[in-house]
Amino acid sequence: MGSAKTNNPFFEAYKNKYGAPPFDKIKNEHYIPAFKEGIKQQQAQINAIANGKNAPTFANTIAAMDYSGDLLKKVSAVFFNLYSAETNDGMAKIANEVSPILSEHNDNIYLNGKLFRRVKSLYDKRAKLGLSPEQIRLLEKIHREFVRSGAALNEGQKAKLREINKELGLAELAFGQNVLDETNSYKKFVDKEADLAGLPESVCQAAAEAAKEAGKNAGWLFTTQKASFIPVLQYSENRELRKELLLAYSTRANHDNAKDNKVVINKIMKLRTQKAQLLGFETSAAFILDDTMAKTPKAVYDFLKTVWTPALAKAKQEAAELQKLMDAEGKAEKLEPWDWWFYAEKLRKAKYDLDEEVLKPYFKLESVRQGVFDLATKLYGLKFKKLDGMPVYHKDVEVFEVINADGSLIGVLYTDYFPRAGKRAGAWMENITPQYKKDGKNYRPIICNVGNFTKPTADKPSLLTMDEVETLFHEFGHALHGLLTQCTYPSLSGTDVARDFVELPSQVMENWCWEPEVMKTYAKHYKTGEIMPKELMDKIQLAGTFNQGFINTELLSASIMDMDYHMIKDTANFDAAAFEKESLNKMGMIPQIIVRYRSTYFNHIFTGGYSAGYYSYTWAAVLDADAFCAFKETGDIYNPEKAAAFRKYILEKGDSEDPMKLYRSFRGADPNPDALLEKRGLK
Ligand SMILES: [Zn+2]
């Protein structure tokens, strides 16, 4: 006996003191009933708003819409968090089942003619309604959402759009699933110790443990997870091994088999282009950029060029320098992509005598995490307290209470830092529950930081690479943006901001991470507790501009390729393989560098929300370098007035005001790209 609703945690209020989901009680069979009931409930709420007898008001239409769908938001947040961080075959099936239902539900809201008429009538007289700036912003945001979803289309066009959305949702899911499957299925076992020449002891040990976990009694296992193969690219003297792993990584989902994403891309690009054109835009890029800070494709291309041109020139110099190093070894080999990391590491050592392996003992994960906590204490007065006994979805997850200087609760932070089979690659921040205000109560958020950092081994704690340290700071910046928000409406709160603005709070944190003043607080040797010697810190500072031609060329080529994809007008004979080649040729890409993400595993643009938006990282980099300058100029990187302004205008505001306006309020001026070019040694 018992219906789907009994013993289903989603149908009860979360009893946890902080409103945290009971992860320990949630099972796969709870999702579908909760999704279905959640959709039903929200549809009823939406119908009541749309069919209301009273004249539309902000409260009975806009606010009511934004607060609707409690149950659906609850189950979606948990499901999609875990679908990224701790998935399994059962969840993949559920995702396939709910994806079309969710996109249909979304269409049922945004293609509801009666509802749109109410929204539009309010929108048309918004200046006369006596609304607060935050309310006007929400009204505009919701109105735009309707128009972009096709509310202004005729019935035939609306039906077509629904069809496209449904197919697109499935194609995007298939893309991500193929990448995950291909990443998990590749295993390179090495059984001769001689083949490990050059690899640091810690890397060999991790590979040996991975082999054991995979059921081998001996040998070493390497995979296409970054934490596994990047050290091989950096240190392995075995050129064949480097080549094999890099090619395995860079051809994922690019074999002519059932997991081939080229086919999926063809489909996605056709659908996206059709959708944009149906909504009255020439290209998908024009459609997507319409509600960003950049606004138009031309603005993005112009912007990318200001960084691409000096970056490519620098990369060519760097390639020549690395080739010289290879020539000096007398091997008569041409520099290839699988050589770049290896020789760059050698050059870095020669130039700066900076060896990641010497640095890593100072970057114990727990110390680095304490470092970002301490930084948040210095800047914003926040306090972090470890919470034991909180429900978690995996034993690696740790939970912290975040308290304001005045003792009030800011929110809760979950950290989940190690790779495993059910976790997608990369690092990210997610909202587990959102922040908003309702009926006089300020609901505080629960935020999760997820990463795929180097795992501890039997005799060593997790020791991070510089890249990982930076990533931890970065994701923590997103977490602060999610935690400190003080908005009224859920759609405006936290990181729900324009995509080319959202990376400012995260990237600005990376500026603090290598400042000697900050490093002193967290870069302590994991055995002795000794603070990193000053010479090493100085070297890190000096090495800051090293290899920046490569890094920026890798990143910007992906940004330009992303834009090129979304500028397609005619998809009749579209072919992803040929397209990628042509796009890279056109921009002048050099053969020694592989674009940061080749098309078939470019999750950001084919599954995530970064289509025609990968440029945002660089766009935000201009903002973050300029924002950090504001602190530096005062001679105090913890300057309290600047920190208070950054918190007030950026971290607390969510999307409640225009981002350019917010930035100007903080900085007192427009963002200036010089700080970035200088920081990256491109000026
Ligand atoms: Zn980010």
- Give per-residue pLDDT as tens, 89-99: 999 999 999 99
Ligand 1 centre from 668 Cα, in Å? Answer: 25
φ/ψ of 586, rounded to 5, equals: -60, -40
**What is the value of pTM for the model shown?**
0.82
Of 458, 611, 465, whose CA–CA distance to 540 is shortest? 465
Mean residue pLDDT across the chain: 95
The DSSP secondary-structure symbol of 544 reads G
Angle at 169 between CA 39 and CA 123, to 5 degrees: 60
* Six-digit token string for 258: 């059932």
User: Token pair 């042509």 is at which residue?
Assistant: 582
Angle at 364 between CA 359 and CA 370, to 5 degrees: 120
Separation of alpha carbons 202 and 188, rounded Å: 18
* Six-digit token string for 446: 């629960």
Separation of alpha carbons 620 and 559, rounded Å: 13
pLDDT of residue 3: 58
SS3 content of the chain, % helix, strand, coil (to 5): 60, 5, 35
Separation of alpha carbons 46 and 344, rounded Å: 58
Residues of 544-559 as b/e, b for ≥16 C-beta within 10 angstroms? ebbbbbbbbbbbbbbb
φ/ψ of 437, rounded to 5, equals: -120, 135
Identity at 116, one-letter amino acid code? F
> Given a cut of 90, is residue 107 above it in pLDDT?
no
Ligand 1 centre from 214 Cα, in Å? Answer: 32
Ligand 1 centre from 506 Cα, in Å? Answer: 6
Residues in Cβ contact with 353 at an 8 Å cutoff, skipping those fewer than 6 apart: 539
pLDDT band at 664 (very low <50, low <70, confident <90, very high): very high
Separation of alpha carbons 365 and 472, rounded Å: 9
Ligand 1 centre from 475 Cα, in Å? Answer: 6
Mean pLDDT of 268-296: 94
pLDDT band at 348 (very low <50, low <70, confident <90, very high): confident
pLDDT band at 4 (very low <50, low <70, confident <90, very high): low
pLDDT of residue 545: 85
Identify the burial level of 473 via C-beta atoms within 10 angstroms of its C-beta, where 0-12 means exposed, 13-18 middle and 19 or more buried. Answer: buried
Ligand 1 centre from 518 Cα, in Å? Answer: 21
User: Token pair 């480097």 is at which residue?
Assistant: 242
Residues, beta carbon < 5 Å, ion ligand 1: 506
pLDDT of residue 351: 84
Of 642, 678, 268, 300, whose CA–CA distance to 499 is shortest? 300
8 A C-beta contact, residue 656 and residue 134? yes
pLDDT of residue 674: 86
- Give per-residue pLDDT as tens, 166-215: 899 999 999 999 999 999 999 999 999 999 999 999 999 999 999 999 99
pLDDT of residue 353: 80
pLDDT of residue 418: 97
Laid out side by side, the sheet with 446-450 consists of 383-387, 398-403, 409-416, 446-450, 428-433
Separation of alpha carbons 492 and 137, rounded Å: 8
pLDDT band at 295 (very low <50, low <70, confident <90, very high): confident
Ligand 1 centre from 324 Cα, in Å? Answer: 36
Ligand 1 centre from 144 Cα, in Å? Answer: 25
Of 489, 404, 477, 415, whose CA–CA distance to 446 is shortest? 415
Would the CA dihedral through 515, 516, 520, 524 be positive or negative?
positive
Ligand 1 centre from 476 Cα, in Å? Answer: 9
Ligand 1 centre from 620 Cα, in Å? Answer: 10
Name the percent of the chain lying above pLDDT 90. 88
Of 103, 101, 111, 104, whose CA–CA distance to 36 is shortest? 101
- Give per-residue pLDDT as tens, 73-83: 999 999 999 99
Separation of alpha carbons 215 and 201, rounded Å: 21
> Given a cut of 70, is residue 1 above it in pLDDT?
no
Name the percent of the chain lying above pLDDT 70. 99
Residue spans of beta strands (DSSP E) within 444-595:
446-450
* Six-digit token string for 218: 């001996």
Ligand 1 centre from 594 Cα, in Å? Answer: 22
Separation of alpha carbons 41 and 535, rounded Å: 62
Mean pLDDT of 124-128: 96
φ/ψ of 556, rounded to 5, equals: -75, -30
Identity at 109, one-letter amino acid code? I
Three-class SS state of 323: helix
Separation of alpha carbons 42 and 25, rounded Å: 24
Separation of alpha carbons 372 and 366, rounded Å: 10
**Distances 78 to 112, 398, 432, 547 between C-alpha atoms, Å:** 28, 17, 6, 40
Q: How many other C-beta atoms lie within 10 A of the C-beta of residue 341?
A: 22
- Give per-residue pLDDT as tens, 538-571: 888 888 889 999 999 999 999 999 999 999 999 9
pLDDT of residue 153: 93
User: Token pair 């208070």 is at which residue?
Assistant: 644
**Distances 159 to 111, 312, 661 between C-alpha atoms, Å:** 10, 46, 38
- Give per-residue pLDDT as tens, 464-521: 999 999 999 999 999 999 999 999 999 999 999 998 999 999 999 999 999 999 999 9
8 A C-beta contact, residue 300 and residue 667? no
- Adjacent-strand bridge partners of 463: 364
Separation of alpha carbons 26 and 15, rounded Å: 14
pLDDT of residue 596: 97
The DSSP secondary-structure symbol of 499 reads T
In the residue annotation, 475 being an active-site residue is answered as yes
8 A C-beta contact, residue 63 and residue 489? yes
Residues in Cβ contact with 155 at an 8 Å cutoff, skipping those fewer than 6 apart: none
> Given a cut of 80, is residue 5 above it in pLDDT?
no
pLDDT band at 2 (very low <50, low <70, confident <90, very high): very low
* Six-digit token string for 484: 């400190």
Q: Which of 37, 172, 468, 475 is catalytic?
A: 475
- In order, the DSSP letters of 5-46 are TTT-GGGS---STT----TTT--GGGHHHHHHHHHHHHHHHH
Ligand 1 centre from 603 Cα, in Å? Answer: 14
Mean pLDDT of 584-590: 98
